[in-house]
């Protein structure tokens, strides 16, 4: 998961690390995000990214954020049943959005569903937002890893 030019670099880097047996760390994510900088738009949109590296015994979950004029932060997550962790690109209202600062604590939500479809719907529902009379939600993805395979569901309004 990613929102910009850093996507391919993150994918290729973690793929290489996996293939040569080098541990995936959060510092690598932070370095890649620092290299990408914030988006070059008028809001300096923060770059966000996440990676799931599946190995035989212990999947690694890493997310990160890079804002304008601040060093990137990345976090290694330890998933727990019923809990969702994440990073929001912005906070505040639509007319004056503020980037989430990289040192801000991660968002944590409780989730009681059982399936990837339940998760995708939950994420879609909590992200309900209207701007200038339009529903601006586009897509959500829910995935549940059973230890040997993924069950994935997508809700896409288009």
- Claim to verify: residue 27 and residue 102 sit in the same structural domain: yes
Annotate 84-110 with DSSP letters as a single string: EEE--SEES-SSS-EEPPTTSPPEEEE
155 and 100 housed in the same domain? no
**pLDDT over 70 for what percent of the chain?**
97
Question: Same domain for 95 and 20?
Answer: yes
30 near 64, Cβ under 8 Å?
yes
Domain coverage including residue 17: 1-110
Q: Report H helices in 24-158.
A: 26-36, 116-126
118 and 102 fall within a common domain = no
| Residue pLDDT, tens place only, 54-100 | 876 778 999 999 999 999 999 999 988 889 998 888 888 888 888 99
Task: Say whether both 94 and 121 belong to one domain.
Answer: no
- pTM, full prediction: 0.85
Q: How far apart are CA 34 and CA 74, in angstroms?
A: 10
Q: Which of 72, 49, 76, 73 has the alpha carbon at shortest distance from 62?
A: 76
CATH of the domain at 11: 3.60.20.20
% of the chain surpassing 90 pLDDT: 50
**Structurally, how many domains does the chain consist of?**
2
9 & 51 share domain: yes
Q: Output DSSP code: residue 45.
A: P
């Amino acid at each position: 998961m990613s929102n910009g030019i850093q996507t391919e670099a993150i994918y290729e880097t973690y793929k290489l690390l996996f293939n040569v047996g080098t541990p995936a760390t959060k510092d690598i994510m932070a370095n890649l995000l620092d290299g990408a900088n914030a988006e070059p738009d008028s809001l300096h949109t923060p770059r966000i990214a996440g990676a799931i590296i599946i190995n035989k015994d212990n999947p690694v979950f890493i997310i990160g954020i890079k804002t304008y004029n601040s060093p990137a932060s990345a976090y290694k997550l330890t998933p727990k049943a019923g809990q969702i962790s994440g990073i929001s690109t912005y906070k505040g209202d639509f007319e004056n959005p503020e980037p989430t600062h990289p040192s801000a604590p991660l968002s944590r939500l409780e989730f009681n569903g059982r399936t990837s479809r339940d998760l995708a719907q939950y994420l879609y529902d909590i992200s309900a937002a209207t701007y200038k009379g339009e529903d601006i939600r586009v897509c959500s993805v829910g995935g549940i890893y059973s230890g040997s395979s993924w069950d994935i569901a997508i809700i896409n309004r288009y």
